[in-house]
Structure formats: C-alpha cells, structure tokens
Amino acid sequence: MRIDIISIFPDVFTPLHSSIIKRAQDKNVLLLKIWNLRDFTTDRHKKVDDAPYGGGKGMVFKCDPVFRSIKKVKEENPKGWVILTSPQGKVFNHDTAKKISGKKGLIIICGHYEGVDERIKRVVDEEISIGDYVLTGGEIPAMVITDAVTRLLPGVLPEGAPEYESFINDLLDWPCWTRPEKYRSMKVPKVLLSGDHKKIEQWRLKKAIEITKAKRPDLYRLYLKK
C-alpha cells in the first residue's frame, strides 16, 4: 500500500520510520512519502493560510496549495483515498482502519489552524477525527491512522496476529501474564499453565467479555447484538 501525507510540518513524522511501520517499509508492504504543503505555494513567503471571511480568530488553509498538492500526489498515487484530519470527521476506530487498509492507496491531508477552506472538501473522500478533543494540528492523527492501517496490511504482522487484538468482535483483549510463574505472591492463573488449549480459549473469551463489560459498556452492548 502507498500512503502519502501532506503537512506543513513534515519533520515531525520521525515515529513513522521505526518499529512495525519501518519493517513494513523494509518489506515493501508499505510505501510512505511525506509532502510539505508549503512546496505548493506560489508566493515567496510560502503562505498556506489566510484570515476567514466574516471575521473571527484563527487562520484557514487556502484552497490553492491544497489543490495543487493533491493534483501532484495523485500523479504518483492515482487511486489514493483522500482523508482530511478534522475535528468534524467521523471518529476513527478499528472498523474504519480495516476498511481503509483495503484501499489501493491513501492520501492524508493534515488539517491545521482554525480549519480549511470549505471548497477543499471537494477533493476529500472522508474526514476523520481521532477523538472528541482538539489538537494543535493533524500530524498526530495522521500518524495514528497510518500506524493502525499499516498493522492490518497483509504481511506486516505474523499471520493471524491481528485477529487476537483488542476491538476484534467488539471486545477488549484478555489479561496476559509471562514469566515468572510467581512474583511477590502473585501467581499466574492455573488454566494458563494447564496446556489445555480449549480451556484456555474459553477462559480468555470469558475474561475478555468481563473486561469489556466493566471498562467499555458501549462495546459490550455492540458485542451482545452480534
């Protein structure tokens, strides 16, 4: 999959060059490119924003640099699904990440300032928010989306691994332990030491349901509907 990110702060994306995302790039499962929106301006000050019509505080992304950038990026990523990070967007979750991971490509515009000129949304396929709060800009959301989507691409994680993570089937993950078997009088549950894989699977499902009911009743209600 190819992911292009358009930002006015291209230097902040260092985390996308490490860990699982780096391995995905090394394996040619993911092609990632960061673009500087200021490179698509036509004035010597490389201005990407202006004051909003009607007055008010804050600045707004101008149309021209964004339209120019999308046109250029589309030349290299013609089937890229265009996302605008925005507080007005659909709240990002596992189902959205899974849907996006099936696209031919992805282009993320990092929102900033007070917002974007409304006409920019004509070249956007989807607006996405990562939560009901306001951030300084769309760079962190872009990294969140890229990370979540990359993990779901075939060949990135060991086969079957994504099927055992939180939010699959609307359940949180079950509790986990590792060595030593006993630590400061705290012991690993006996069922996990039994070697009986069927019992372990049943126990893990039971615990996942209990944890989801206690911590995320909203997810638990969705689980009950299935």
Asked if the bond preceding 180 is cis, omega within 30° of 0, the reply is yes
Cβ neighbours of residue 25 closer than 8 Å, sequence gap 6 or more = 17, 31, 32
Structure-block tokens of residue 82: 């265009």
pLDDT in tens, 199-222: 999 999 999 999 999 999 999 999
Structure-block tokens of residue 23: 């391995």
- Element housing 200 (H / E): helix 197-215
Average model confidence (pLDDT) across the chain: 95
Cβ neighbours of residue 20 closer than 8 Å, sequence gap 6 or more = 147, 150, 151, 156, 157
Q: Is the pLDDT of residue 64 over 80?
A: yes
Q: Total domain count for the chain? A: 2
For residue 58, the one-letter residue type is G
Cβ neighbours of residue 183 closer than 8 Å, sequence gap 6 or more = none
- The verdict on 136 and 190 lying in the same domain is no
Determine the distance from the C-alpha atom of residue 111 to the mean position of all C-alpha atoms in its chain, rounded to a whole number.
15
- The verdict on 9 and 121 lying in the same domain is yes
- The verdict on 210 and 99 lying in the same domain is no
Supply the CATH number for residue 170's domain: 1.10.1270.20
pTM of the model: 0.90
What SS3 class is residue 63? helix
- The verdict on 145 and 179 lying in the same domain is no
Q: Is the pLDDT of residue 166 over 90?
A: no
- The verdict on 19 and 131 lying in the same domain is yes
- The verdict on 144 and 178 lying in the same domain is no
- Residue 94's domain spans which residues? 2-151
